[in-house]
Structure 1
Amino acid sequence: MAAVLVGQFHARDAEGRIYPVHEFQESTPAVEGSAPTSTYKLAIGDRVNHLGEDRFQLVQSGVEIIRIP
């Protein structure tokens, strides 16, 4: 399955650094009728976990970031 870029946003860590985040969705859902799975990555390719609401965590470093409205 291929992932399609569906959104981009910026997030900030506790020290004020800004991270450009890309949101991807699977082009075909795993199960017929189910919602597509979203994945997140930094612009440089590092994976990002969605913790809920506007909170995310960088997989490699464990740094928590907050989506900038």
Structure 2
Amino acid sequence: MSAILVAHFHARDAEGRVYPVHEFHELPQAEDGSQPSAPVVTYRLAIGERVTHLGDDRFKLLRSGVELTRDLP
């Protein structure tokens, strides 16, 4: 599976701490070896921790459960 960095942004937790989040499009291999038509979107912190997208501008750190809100430019 290959991943392509397509965006990065900052998000904040309830206490105001800022987290750099990277958005990737991953292209998983199909069972027959061909590339699928739609990429899978994943999010990670700059340090590698996985982030779940909850919808709109809300995210959640997978390991700790801390909820984040995307900073809008």
- Looking at structure 2, the residues matched to 28 and 60 of structure 1 have their Cα atoms a distance apart, in angstroms, of 23
User: Gapped runs of 5+ residues in structure 2?
Assistant: none
Question: TM-score scaled by structure 2?
Answer: 0.84
- CA contact under 8 A between 1:29 and 1:37: conserved in structure 2? no
Pick the structure with greater CA Rg: 2
- Quickly say closer, same or farther: Cα 1:10–1:25, change in 2 above 3 A: same
2: distance between equivalents of 1:65 and 1:50? 9
1:1-69 mapped onto 2 (5 Å cutoff): 1-27=1-27, 32-33=36-37, 35-69=38-72
Where do 5+ consecutive residues of structure 1 fail to align? none
> Could you list the per-position Cα deviations for residues 29-62 of structure 1 after superposition, in whole angstroms to 9, with x for gaps in the alignment?
75743x3110000000000000001000001100
Number of positions where the alignment pairs a residue of Structure 1 with one of Structure 2: 68
Aligned-pair Cα RMSD in Å: 1.7
TM-score by length of 1: 0.88
